[in-house]
Amino acid sequence: MIVFFDRAVLSFFNPMKKASLKEFLDFLNQQDAKTFKTDVVDKYLKNHQIDHEEFLPYTFFREETYGRNLIAKNDFYELLVLTWLPEQRTAIHDHASQRCWVMMGLGSLTFKNYEPVGPIIEGKKYQLKAMGRAEVISAGQSPSYIDDGMALHSIANASRKPAISIHLYANPVNRCRIYNESTKTFEWSELEYFTFSGNTWNEPVQELH
Ligand SMILES: [Fe+2]
């Protein structure tokens, strides 16, 4: 038996609406510190699909380290494209008490979570405990979310292919704490952009990790 579905029936089964990057930015620009603390972003990401080609004008790979490419920023959020060549990775880091959503645009990344340590004290040594196994998230999977109450984490491209991820931070994270595995202490790391709104700097900004 052949069954034909009309568009209304199909949209019932697939409730994701297509959204352009401009529509996503319009939505983000309507939010403030209060609304970013609610579930508005989770709901938006659950119901909207943004064509990943929209992020290509902001996608620049770096040889020396993973690339942080800024798409848009105001007082309440920043949206970035992060680019990952094989073997590029972050240190274990916190998110400076902010909220972070990650969507995979291309390839896959390995996320490893560590138990939160509460307020970090300068000079104190920490023995971090892994939370479960490392998780590989690939393009096409649901967005992931993290904040300091949930975990610390590291991200690595453990695959043999380049990867692209889209990161939303609310509020913007200008610096975060990274874990020095040899001294077992945390250090502040100032976060820089490799490109800003699709324009490359004349000279790449040196990142600290
Ligand atoms: Fe992170």
What does 92-160 look like in DSSP terms, one character per residue?
SB--TT-EEEEEEEESEEEEEEE---SSPPTT------B-SS-EEEETTSPPEEE-TTT-EEEEE--SS
Residue 137: other Cβ atoms inside 10 A: 20
pLDDT of residue 201: 53
Mean pLDDT in consecutive groups of 10 residues from the start of the chain, 209 residues: 48 74 97 97 95 93 96 96 98 97 97 94 95 96 96 98 98 96 96 82 43
Ligand 1 geometric centre to CA of 157 (Å):
13
Ligand 1 geometric centre to CA of 108 (Å):
15
Ligand 1 geometric centre to CA of 11 (Å):
34
For residue 206, tell me if it sits in a domain: no
For residue 28, tell me if it sits in a domain: no
Domain limits for position 102: 58-195
pLDDT of residue 35: 98
For residue 21, tell me if it sits in a domain: no
Ligand 1 geometric centre to CA of 77 (Å):
15
pLDDT of residue 206: 42
CB 49 within 8 A of CB 18: yes
For residue 184, tell me if it sits in a domain: yes
Ligand 1 geometric centre to CA of 80 (Å):
12
pLDDT of residue 52: 87
Residues 6+ away with beta carbon under 8 Å from 91: 154, 178, 179, 180, 181, 189, 209
Query: How many independent structural domains does the chain possess?
Result: 1
For residue 34, tell me if it sits in a domain: no
Residue 26: other Cβ atoms inside 10 A: 11
Ligand 1 geometric centre to CA of 10 (Å):
36
The CATH number linked to 72 is: 2.60.120.10
Ligand 1 geometric centre to CA of 121 (Å):
20
CB 145 within 8 A of CB 70: no
pLDDT of residue 200: 60
Ligand 1 geometric centre to CA of 2 (Å):
48
pLDDT of residue 16: 84
